[in-house]
A and B are shown apart, each in its own frame.
Chain A
Amino acid sequence: MPSNVATGAAKATMKVLIIDPDEARAALVAEGLADVHPLEVHRAATFEAIEGDLPLMAPDVIVIACESPDRDTLESLRDAKGENARPVVMFVDRSSPGLAEAAIEAGVAAYVVDGLSPARVRSVLEVAMSRFELMQRLRNDLDKARADLASRKAIERAKGLLMKERGLDEAQAYGVLRKLAMDAGRPLGAVANDLLTFAGVLKGGTK
């Protein structure tokens, strides 16, 4: 254990393995960890992919995405009559209440070799958690941007339809759509979509 305790002398390089089927997210975590010195970071999409290299890699910490089914395999390594000590102790730091819960909530689990300093593991886990959350935010933003774009397109098309069919100018067509949306208590994009669908039906475009 003493070799793992920060003594002010040069710390041994901590080796971290990230297992995550989401490669973009794994890259994001690895990038975040690059600021935590000194650290050696490996990445794999599945446990299968690095199983053979594990003894040589000898990670001190394995950060694994909860959506990976490999957690069960990882945990069973403790049972293996082991020639190679591997990180199979789940990291739960009792000095930081709620940390384990927050990690699971963020979708991250960590396994560490026995006796590793909690503070060092925590810094790794915190980076992983924040990057998982960042990725989730980015994905949500992207989904929202896509939805916004689709909705804007529908509104433009519905306006065009109203202008053509009812001889309105653009501002009047927009006003009609807005009133429809307010009366129905629904988003403008949804009302525009309905209008386009009904117009299609009336024209016999859709069965």
Chain B
Amino acid sequence: MTLPSRPLRLGFIALSDCAPLAVAQEKGFFGLEGLNVELSREASWANIRDKVAMAALDGAHMLGPLPIAARLGLSGEPSAMIAPMSLNLNGSAITVSTALAEAMRNADPQAMDARPRTARALASVIAQRREAGAAMLTFAVVFPFSVHNYQLRYWMAEAGIDPDRDVRITVVPPARMTARIASGDIDGFCVGAPWNAQAVADGHGEIVIYAAEFWSVGPDKVFSVTEGWAAREPQALQSLLRALIQAAAWADEPGNRAELASILAHQRYVDAPIETVARSLVGSPPYSREEPGADSRDYIIYHRYAASFPWRSHAVWFLTQMLRWGQIGPDVDIAAAAEAAYRPDLYRAAAASLGEPAPIVDEKVEGLHTGPWTLDEASSPIAMAPDLFFDARRFDAAQPQRYAASFDIGRFRED
């Protein structure tokens, strides 16, 4: 087994969660592993998906649900993609236009003062608008198979808003979100960093809830390759994972976050003002121009709390939301789909060769821990963070159908 002599081509989208790839390149972690890597900024998730599927890219930064959807043939041509590593937890947020935020404050000041915020104030505004015969509100996400789509829908539905009937949900590319909220085309969005902070800085938007408040350690992006590529290039894959794990650990060091901001802000990567990029990396971005952000370093997590580990339970959670919103039918074998797409075995091998601790279990229950805890089911104990959902629900990957059917609003009911 040897490393390929030609450069490896990895794709990414201009978002702060591409950090492990950018850092591995800029801080030399790819080089240390003997890898020659070319990073390619892509214009869309569809491009990333197709180029990985058709071998125009060797691997890529990808939305967590996308490899699962690609395998099931739900997005593009069916392709056996795998996620051997997670790139980050949290990092996204739901932002509304300043006009909508004002309307929400008028409708339900109490709900707007609470942290984390529910969508109760939004539900009141929607009811008022319906009565007045006003147009439906439009929200944007970045892709149908994205944690952002599921977060936004979950958050709305918790307050009695049906995301398929009470609002319009559209797809807008991440870097265009701020312009479209400024022009009034959309009333809100859910997108990754740094674009929420950018909308607040521009004075066009207010953040209503961070991903870290929605689910304190929620999954987001993964690194993905095809199963065929992984079989042909086992050593290159292990070298890539080792480089990315080290880069993620580097990116998570509080002392490195300022330098990380300057790397990501560069036009090669996110191409946004460095102050804006830094706002989501050093603490949390302000909710609005009047309200500073929460003092948390968990706004975006790259490595600590076993963040790089591709939990099968994360894949199952994505699948429960696909089922809930009708993207898949009840015939899909959720456990099998999660097991095929998320590959903790490949991660463990890379972590072991670095002497990095890795979980020895593939799943964990979410919504269980209210404070810091220790994962003992690991090669050596790992410090973990609280894992609460804002609505205090519990998620157990062992019973996905029951969980998907347990919500008041959703398209799936158990027989």
B55, B173, B185: the one within 8 Å of A72 (CB): B173
B51, B56, B176, B327: the one within 8 Å of A69 (CB): B176
- A73 and B47 contact, Cβ closer than 8 Å, known pairs A100-B77, A101-B54, A105-B56: no
Q: Enumerate A69-83 residues with CB–CB distance to B below 8 Å.
A: 69-76, 79, 81
Asked if A69 and B144 make an inter-chain contact with CB atoms under 8 angstroms apart, the answer reads no
Asked if A81 and B164 make an inter-chain contact with CB atoms under 8 angstroms apart, the answer reads yes
Is B75 in the interface zone, CB < 8 Å from A? yes
Is B43 in the interface zone, CB < 8 Å from A? yes
Q: How far is the CA of A144 from the CA of B126 in the complex (A)?
A: 58
Q: How far is the CA of A205 from the CA of B251 in the complex (A)?
A: 44
Asked if B77 and A67 make an inter-chain contact with CB atoms under 8 angstroms apart, the answer reads no
Residues of B within 8 A of A76 (CB): 143-144, 170-171
Is A190 in the interface zone, CB < 8 Å from B? no
Residues of B within 8 A of A90 (CB): 50, 76-77
Is A112 in the interface zone, CB < 8 Å from B? no
A67, A75, A109: the one within 8 Å of B144 (CB): A75
Q: How far is the CA of A79 from the CA of B140 in the complex (A)?
A: 13
Asked if B75 and A71 make an inter-chain contact with CB atoms under 8 angstroms apart, the answer reads no
Q: Which chain B residue shows the least CB distance to A101?
A: B54
Residues of A within 8 A of B75 (CB): 75
B142-178 vs A, Cβ < 8 Å mask (1 yes, 0 no)? 1110000000000000000000100000111101100
Is B110 in the interface zone, CB < 8 Å from A? no
Asked if B47 and A66 make an inter-chain contact with CB atoms under 8 angstroms apart, the answer reads yes
- A104 and B142 contact, Cβ closer than 8 Å, known pairs A66-B43, A69-B44: no
Residues of B within 8 A of A69 (CB): 43-44, 173, 175-176
Residues of A within 8 A of B189 (CB): none
Residues of B within 8 A of A67 (CB): 43
Q: How far is the CA of A194 from the CA of B54 in the complex (A)?
A: 44
Q: Which chain A residue shows the least CB distance to B142?
A: A72
Q: Which chain A residue shows the least CB distance to B173?
A: A69
Least Cβ distance of A71 to chain B in Å? 4
Asked if A75 and B171 make an inter-chain contact with CB atoms under 8 angstroms apart, the answer reads yes
Name the residue among B54, B143, B175 with the largest chain A CB count within 10 angstroms. B54
- Main secondary structure, interface of B, reads loop
Asked if B50 and A109 make an inter-chain contact with CB atoms under 8 angstroms apart, the answer reads yes
Asked if A104 and B171 make an inter-chain contact with CB atoms under 8 angstroms apart, the answer reads no
- A72 and B45 contact, Cβ closer than 8 Å, known pairs A79-B144, A90-B77, A104-B56: yes
Asked if A101 and B55 make an inter-chain contact with CB atoms under 8 angstroms apart, the answer reads yes
Asked if A71 and B46 make an inter-chain contact with CB atoms under 8 angstroms apart, the answer reads yes
Q: Which chain A residue shows the least CB distance to B326?
A: A79
Asked if A104 and B173 make an inter-chain contact with CB atoms under 8 angstroms apart, the answer reads no
Is A130 in the interface zone, CB < 8 Å from B? no
Is A117 in the interface zone, CB < 8 Å from B? no
Is A30 in the interface zone, CB < 8 Å from B? no
Asked if A72 and B44 make an inter-chain contact with CB atoms under 8 angstroms apart, the answer reads yes
A71, A81, A92: the one within 8 Å of B47 (CB): A71
Asked if A92 and B56 make an inter-chain contact with CB atoms under 8 angstroms apart, the answer reads no
- A109 and B46 contact, Cβ closer than 8 Å, known pairs A72-B173, A73-B173, A76-B171: yes
B54-94 vs A, Cβ < 8 Å mask (1 yes, 0 no)? 11100000000000000000011100000000000000000
Asked if B172 and A73 make an inter-chain contact with CB atoms under 8 angstroms apart, the answer reads yes
Asked if B77 and A71 make an inter-chain contact with CB atoms under 8 angstroms apart, the answer reads no
| B-binding residues in A (CB < 8 A) | 48, 66-76, 79, 81, 90, 92, 100-101, 104-105, 109
| A-binding residues in B (CB < 8 A) | 43-47, 50-51, 54-56, 75-77, 142-144, 164, 170-173, 175-176, 185, 327
Q: Besides A71-B47, A76-B143, 6 other CB < 8 A contacts?
A: A66-B47, A69-B175, A70-B173, A72-B44, A72-B142, A75-B144
Complex A-B: 10 CB contacts under 8 Å: A66-B44, A67-B43, A68-B43, A70-B173, A72-B171, A72-B173, A75-B76, A79-B327, A100-B50, A109-B46
